[in-house]
Amino acid sequence: MKVFQTDEIRNIALIGAAKSGKTTLAENMLFEGKMINRKGTVDDKNTLSDYRPIELERQISVNSSLLYTLHNDIKINILDAPGFSDYTGDILSSVSVADTAILLVNGQSGVEATTENAWRQADKTEKPVVFFINQLDHHNANFDEAVRQLKDYFGDKVTIAQYPVKTGEGFDSIIDLMFMKMLKFKQGGGAPEVLDIPDDELEKAEELRRKLIENAAEGDEALMEKYFENDTLSLDDTRLGIKLGMITRGIFPVFCGASKHGIGVYRLMDFVVYTCPSPDQVAPRKTTAGKEFHCKKAEPSALFIFKLSNEQHLGEVSLIKVYGGEIYEGQDLINPRTGNKERVSQLFIVNGKNREKVERVIAGDMAVTIKLKDARSNDSLMDPKAADAALEPIAYPEPVFVTAVKAASSTDDEKLGSVLQDMHRIDPTIIAALSREQRQLILQCQGEYHMNTVKWYLDNVHKLETIFYSPKIPYRETITKAARADYRHKKQSGGSGQFGEVHLMVQPYFEGYKDPTDFPVRGKEEHKLTWGGKLIFNNCIVGGSIDARFMPAILKGVMENLEEGPLTGSYARDIVVYVYDGKMHPVDSNEISFKLAGRHAFSDAFKNAGPKIMEPIHDFAVRMPEDMMGAVMTDLQGRRAIIMGMDSDGKYQIIKAKVPLAEMDRYSTSLSAITSGRGTFAMKFAEYAQVPGDVQSKLLKAYEEKLKEED
């Protein structure tokens, strides 16, 4: 296998709506480059990029695939990304390591919600974007409308570089404004026939070309001058101008075709090779310490692991991009995250499921390696002399979907936990953690579809039967007034018995609360609770009615109650306790008796002290197209949301609100349904607030029933 130098490499990510034709385009690019001699199709389940069992079953891309093809001796690395927003993690990681994003638009549907999501990822990573309006062989494809929408959504830097002569069945000709020629393609692909632009298209073509040249030259003064002098630009200068414009994101050129039939594909590859930037021509990747890697061979070796994947016959592979120097077999590198050495054992150049061994990989190129000791997505491996900091990791999106999960058989719970941890290592947007408070394994991810993907792997790969259910809401319990209670714990069984009696009073804790004057406070302990709030525990015993040595046991009983509050079993907080009287038995009193007496006395007092349930309230913001605002608002009102304000952002509106977490179960699914996938939201814990009376009654009843069931 040839070793490709940095300037012989182009890295592109194919992104865009699901079903826009990314996988089909990739397959056709491979065919054009003679990497395959027969094209597979998504429908026949034999493409090189959708090869994983889940992808074959569902006929969609779930993971990004790394592929490559050749065009005029240049290696084009292709990342074929998924389209669904639930797989944004993979869309983002693909875009992050590519040097140009090719954003496919289905010519029948225009800008879809997932088109916008793909755009956002390219925007976030500040990548050059080329639009490819695809599927123009469909009778209802509409190029002009698609372009209108692109400009509408993404601004007027969206610039036509090509347009179709006639769309629909038989579509094969494209006017190319860079060449000022008409390209006529054969069904199935190949290099096009280059023809003069027909007379009746000339005026339109000239007008569009002017716009293209203006936008291309805009970023570069020398080019601008040349253009004004000669009223045109040479092909080389046009390419240079567009390249510079793409890098600074001053131009987003629009191409077109029908990838399934190879129409426009050869030319698009030509554009990738001659106009899209090579890896060392785009913005560098910084380290977390601010040092820059420009994909230059002279730099110290540095690679970034942008994805892990489990592959048949190989096991776990790491997909890498080389950001500096070169990587070769047997090389020792350092992982700055751990400080440990990693040896690069084997390197492969891959085409989806096919692979070929290589000895070295030069800066700018992508490859896979296997058998790393301790690798995660987002890790980097660095030359020992440059290992002080890692290459900047990808900032994955915050989770939008939360669920609890457990194994159908509790003996599998531990295995489930470790399988999910491993999934996180591979896909950082799958986050699982055991919540001590909720006593549940909580899974966070990018949507219900993403959750179903996790479940698919659990079912089919790990053979783990699981149950997904709503997570428990972390309520808090507290009191609103003072109350007293006595409790005597007494048990006579055989020889020794148990006896302990506790009289106590509770009152709410707040800054500046006052101790009662009925009894003296002889010892005061302040406990900061790990879940927030305080417990103040007062020893007010006079005359030795309870020995001081039993006080810790009483405190323990109270603490148990705080950890599993009397109303709903949630954490209780902000309470002052006064133990002011009690009784002992000379023989039968022991710690366990006083712990139990303390626990019951506290629980009884608590229930009489105007107890209330507090619920978590989140700061919330939702963004949706203007015309969907009414529907989103109505839905929010049904969720007890308090609207805090509104903002507009172009064609979008943003509603800010405070929402009770209890009402937001599976919100991402609802929002997606209400807004046809166009809405996005974010929320973050803000504070605890008292639940309304009717909600409290419901919660109390539910907990009582649960306790009865457990008895």
Ligand X SMILES: Nc1nc2c(ncn2[C@@H]2O[C@H](COP(=O)(O)OP(=O)(O)O)[C@@H](O)[C@H]2O)c(=O)[nH]1
Residue ranges binding ligand X (CB under 6 A): 18-24, 41-43, 60-61, 83, 134-135, 137-138, 258-260
Residue placing its CB nearer to ligand X in the complex, 7 or 43: 43
Residue placing its CB nearer to ligand X in the complex, 104 or 419: 104
Question: 398: how many CB neighbours lie within 10 A of its CB?
Answer: 12
DSSP bridge pairs for 406: 467
Q: Determine contact, residues 125/97, Cβ cutoff 8 Å.
A: no
Residue placing its CB nearer to ligand X in the complex, 449 or 602: 449
378 binds, among Mg ion, ligand X, none (CB under 5 to 8 A by kind): none
Minimum CB–partner distance for residue 22 and Mg ion (Å):
5
Residue placing its CB nearer to ligand X in the complex, 164 or 533: 164
Minimum CB–partner distance for residue 106 and ligand X (Å):
8
134 binds, among ligand X, Mg ion, none (CB under 5 to 8 A by kind): ligand X
Residue with the two structure tokens 């372009």: 147
Alpha helices in 465-590, H assignment, sequence order: 551-563
Quick one: which segment of 59-67, 429-437, 456-464, 500-508 binds Mg ion (CB under 5 A)?
Answer: 59-67
**DSSP secondary structure code for residue 662 in this structure:** G
260 binds, among ligand X, Mg ion, none (CB under 5 to 8 A by kind): ligand X
Residue placing its CB nearer to Mg ion in the complex, 68 or 681: 68
Residue placing its CB nearer to Mg ion in the complex, 57 or 292: 57
> What are residue 166's phi and psi, to 5 degrees?
-150, 120
Q: Determine contact, residues 317/369, Cβ cutoff 8 Å.
A: yes
Residue placing its CB nearer to ligand X in the complex, 60 or 642: 60
Q: How many chain residues are in contact with Mg ion, going by CB under 5 A? A: 3
Question: 512: how many CB neighbours lie within 10 A of its CB?
Answer: 4
69 binds, among ligand X, Mg ion, none (CB under 5 to 8 A by kind): none
Minimum CB–partner distance for residue 308 and Mg ion (Å):
20
137 binds, among Mg ion, ligand X, none (CB under 5 to 8 A by kind): ligand X
Q: Determine contact, residues 342/301, Cβ cutoff 8 Å.
A: no
Question: How many contiguous H segments (helices) and E segments (strands) does the chain have?
Answer: 16, 38
DSSP string across 166-232: S-STT--EEEETTTTEEEEPPTT--SPEEEPPPHHHHHHHHHHHHHHHHHHHTT-HHHHHHHHHHSS
43 binds, among Mg ion, ligand X, none (CB under 5 to 8 A by kind): ligand X
Quick one: which segment of 60-68, 326-334, 629-637, 651-659 binds Mg ion (CB under 5 A)?
Answer: 60-68
Kindly state the tokens that stand for 230. 């000669």
User: Which secondary structure element, helix H or strand E, spans residue 451, and what is its range?
Assistant: helix 448-460
Distance CA 336, CA 391 (A): 9
Residue nearest to ligand X (CB): 21
List the one residue out of 560, 566, 595, 564 whose CA is nearest residue 479. 566
Residue placing its CB nearer to Mg ion in the complex, 39 or 600: 39
Q: Determine contact, residues 202/238, Cβ cutoff 8 Å.
A: no
Alpha helices in 483-571, H assignment, sequence order: 551-563
Minimum CB–partner distance for residue 34 and Mg ion (Å):
22
Kindly state the tokens that stand for 378. 């987002």
Q: Determine contact, residues 246/100, Cβ cutoff 8 Å.
A: yes
277 binds, among Mg ion, ligand X, none (CB under 5 to 8 A by kind): none
Kindly state the tokens that stand for 690. 């008292």
Minimum CB–partner distance for residue 354 and ligand X (Å):
18
Residue placing its CB nearer to ligand X in the complex, 49 or 498: 49
Q: Determine contact, residues 319/306, Cβ cutoff 8 Å.
A: yes
Residues 271-310, interacting with Mg ion (CB under 5 A): none
19 binds, among Mg ion, ligand X, none (CB under 5 to 8 A by kind): ligand X
Kind of pairing between the strands at 523-528 and 466-469:
unpaired
Minimum CB–partner distance for residue 685 and Mg ion (Å):
37
- 460-to-106, 132, 145 alpha-carbon distances in Å: 32, 36, 43
20 binds, among ligand X, Mg ion, none (CB under 5 to 8 A by kind): ligand X
Distance CA 254, CA 172 (A): 17
The interface mask with Mg ion, positions 102-141, x = CB under 5 A, is ----------------------------------------
Distance CA 94, CA 14 (A): 8
SS3 label, residue 242:
helix
Residue placing its CB nearer to Mg ion in the complex, 61 or 135: 61
Residue placing its CB nearer to ligand X in the complex, 259 or 498: 259
Residue placing its CB nearer to Mg ion in the complex, 21 or 598: 21
Minimum CB–partner distance for residue 216 and ligand X (Å):
27
Minimum CB–partner distance for residue 24 and Mg ion (Å):
8
570 binds, among Mg ion, ligand X, none (CB under 5 to 8 A by kind): none
Output the furthest CA–CA distance in the chain (Å, rounded).
113
440 binds, among Mg ion, ligand X, none (CB under 5 to 8 A by kind): none
The interface mask with Mg ion, positions 2-31, x = CB under 5 A, is --------------------xx--------
> What are residue 512's phi and psi, to 5 degrees?
85, 20
402 binds, among ligand X, Mg ion, none (CB under 5 to 8 A by kind): none
Minimum CB–partner distance for residue 41 and ligand X (Å):
5
Among 11, 28, 61, 680, binds Mg ion (CB under 5 A): 61
Quick one: which segment of 57-65, 101-109, 209-217, 432-440 binds Mg ion (CB under 5 A)?
Answer: 57-65
Minimum CB–partner distance for residue 50 and Mg ion (Å):
6
Residue placing its CB nearer to ligand X in the complex, 22 or 573: 22
Residue placing its CB nearer to Mg ion in the complex, 138 or 239: 138
Minimum CB–partner distance for residue 164 and ligand X (Å):
12
Distance CA 545, CA 583 (A): 5
Minimum CB–partner distance for residue 174 and ligand X (Å):
13
Minimum CB–partner distance for residue 351 and ligand X (Å):
16
Burial of 507 (0-12, 13-18, 19+ CB in 10 A): buried
Minimum CB–partner distance for residue 59 and ligand X (Å):
7
Please state the three-class secondary structure of 313-335 as a single string: CCEEEEEEEEEECEEECCCEEEE
Q: Determine contact, residues 366/77, Cβ cutoff 8 Å.
A: yes
User: Which secondary structure element, helix H or strand E, spans residue 710, and what is its range?
Assistant: helix 693-710
Distance CA 386, CA 336 (A): 9
Minimum CB–partner distance for residue 18 and ligand X (Å):
5
Residue placing its CB nearer to ligand X in the complex, 23 or 331: 23
397 binds, among Mg ion, ligand X, none (CB under 5 to 8 A by kind): none
What does the angle CA 32 – CA 36 – CA 40 come to, to the nearest 5 degrees? Answer: 95
Q: Give the interface with Mg ion as residue ranges (CB under 5 A).
A: 22-23, 61
